[in-house]
Amino acid sequence: MKNIIVIGGGPAGYPAALKAASLGAQVTLIEKNKLGGVCLNCGCIPSKSLLDAAHRFQTARGLVGLCQEGAQEAADRLFSLRDWNKIRARQQAASRKLVQGIGFLLKKAGVTVLEGEGSFVDETHVRVKTAEKEEVLSCDGVIIATGSEAFFPPPFDVLKGQIYDNSTIFNMEQLPESLAIIGGGVIGCEMADLMSALGVAVSVVEMQPRILPTEDETAARTLFQALSKRGVTFYTGVSAAKAEKTADGFKLTLSDGKEITAQAVLAAIGRSVNLSSLQLENIGVTYTRKGVQVNPKTLQLKNNIYAAGDVTGLLLLAHAATRQGEVAASNLCGFEMQYHNEQIPRAVYTSPEIAAVGLTRAQAQAQGLNVRAQKSFFLANGRAVAQEQTEGYVELISEESTGRLVGATLVGANAAELIHVMAVALNAQLTVSQLKEVVFAHPTFAESIAEAANR
């Protein structure tokens, strides 16, 4: 039986431990903070719980307005800035419940969980520092799953602790009247949506020419327009060159000389891996802020050392981390398994939602593929019209010569759920003609996928 150590109990580490245990290994998982990592404690789950509350408030407001003209003002009084702590309490309860669930699963699988910090002595020995003692454990192999934390480069480093980052924002006890968000990536956009829906005056600074630079341009423009309409002010193509504390908040000076003032600032400018405490020099491994270099298919780092999750820098998403953890554990236990980064779906949980899998049209063209794009709009979808949720579309990208699907982007209601139809299609290497054979229930948003295939 193999004796395996997993360092880190987030979405990469705990599934790796469960997988290795299911394959017959004796597993020890070392976690220095809380099981569930960033995802459950200060990432995916907190942000989605709070966004759901904010979106439901907007829906309720719309319904009240439908029944009684002018009643939105009364609805606004229903949600005051004080209610922030109530929706936070719901979010904290959800996180607690899910973290407990992981503890239960690990116990049931016979995984030994140590609360402490792990570091390498050599390739087969790991030092564990707990509150009570320090010990060295020997093992046959290690999976590194220590994740990432908010990146704080200059000039924002001097304000660390005073301005929020994409973890500490969830500890905010009172909503500010105004918030300046530095970074228009996924987290920046989700936070802009959340805060503006709750009545905070939001501005977003993005140094790239557009928000969501890694997603489809039209999808990003749709979100830009929706958030702008709801009062979010965007500054794109400029960077925040200077950040200062003022008497009643903060002042940001942008690279074009403009100044923004806000009561609070959120720096959402990326992540940096948690590898400094691991003493990787003891196993001859180097790394950058973006991670260690693994074999992208097997997740092997060297010999019996594997890595999974944000530390690999392959795709900073929880479900990517989980699959990587399972692949790493499987390979370490001698059962060959491969990871496919290109098949991982991506979602932005804003209103409208954006979700994608595989290549965008621009990415396919950049790879030299001759592709066809087929699009259908929610404006022509029965359910979307019935529910007044007509903002959005489906775009399918396929190879011109074979019709094989290579990517899809969905924008609008339920996009983060609907994208899995396309994830299955891509995984099964379906062509557009094969997708056309599937019958979709009516009326559903999913019918727009069939509609796009028939274009």
Ligand X SMILES: Cc1cc2nc3c(=O)[nH]c(=O)nc-3n(C[C@H](O)[C@H](O)[C@H](O)COP(=O)(O)OP(=O)(O)OC[C@H]3O[C@@H](n4cnc5c(N)ncnc54)[C@H](O)[C@@H]3O)c2cc1C
Q: Which residues bind ligand X (CB under 6 A)?
A: 7-13, 30-33, 37-39, 43-44, 47-48, 117-118, 145-148, 166-167, 187, 274, 277-278, 309-310, 316-319, 321, 349
- When the beta carbons of 206 and 447 are compared against ligand X, the nearer one is 206
In order of 59, 86, 349, 390, the CA distances from 50 in angstroms are 14, 10, 11, 24
Residues 44, 337, 277, CA angle at the centre, nearest 5°?
50
Separation between Cα atoms, residue 171 and residue 86, nearest integer Å: 13
Longest Cα–Cα distance in the chain: 70
Question: Cβ of residue 176: shortest distance to ligand X, in angstroms?
Answer: 17
CB of 280 to ligand X, least distance (A): 11
Nearer to ligand X, 48 or 404 (CB): 48
Instruction: State the nearest-atom distance from the C-beta of 441 to ligand X, in Å.
Output: 27
Least distance from ligand X to the Cβ atom of residue 242, Å: 25
Helix (H, G, I), strand (E, B) or coil at 442: coil
What Cα–Cα distance (Å) separates residue 92 from each residue in 48, 50, 53, 252? 12, 10, 13, 31
Q: What whole-number distance in Å separates Cα of residue 197 and Cα of residue 194? A: 5
- Is the Cβ of residue 146 or residue 381 nearer to ligand X in the bound state? 146
Choose, from 55, 319, 420, 442, the residue flagged as catalytic.
442
Quote the least distance from Cβ 229 to ligand X, whole Å: 24
> CA geometry: angle at 378 spanning 443 and 402, to 5°?
95
Give the whole-angstrom CA distance, residue 62 versus residue 64.
6
Q: Give the pair of three-digit tokens for residue 259.
A: 């100044």
- Residues 226, 324: Cα–Cα separation, whole Å: 35
Give the number of other Cβ atoms within 10 Å of residue 89's Cβ: 10
Q: Which is nearer to ligand X, 355 or 450 (CB)?
A: 355
* CB nearer ligand X, residue 204 or residue 450: 204
Task: Give me the least distance between CB of 169 and ligand X, in Å please.
Answer: 7
428 burial type by CB count under 10 A (0-12 exposed, 13-18 middle, 19+ buried): exposed
Q: Which two tokens stand for residue 11?
A: 């979405």
Catalytic-residue membership of 442: yes
Collapsing DSSP states into helix, strand and coil, what is residue 143? strand
Q: Which is nearer to ligand X, 13 or 412 (CB)?
A: 13
What is the residue whose two structure tokens read 């009326």? 443
Q: Which residues pair with 115 in a beta bridge?
A: 31
Q: Which is nearer to ligand X, 39 or 452 (CB)?
A: 39
- Per residue, what are the HEC states of 293-320? CCCCCCCEEECCEEECHHHHCCCCCHHH
Least distance (Å) between residue 171 CB and ligand X: 12
Tell me which DSSP letter residue 7 carries: E
- Shortest Å, Cβ 147 to ligand X: 2
328 versus 435: smaller Cβ distance to ligand X: 328
The secondary structure element, H or E, covering residue 188 is helix 186-197
Cite the active site residues.
Answer: 442
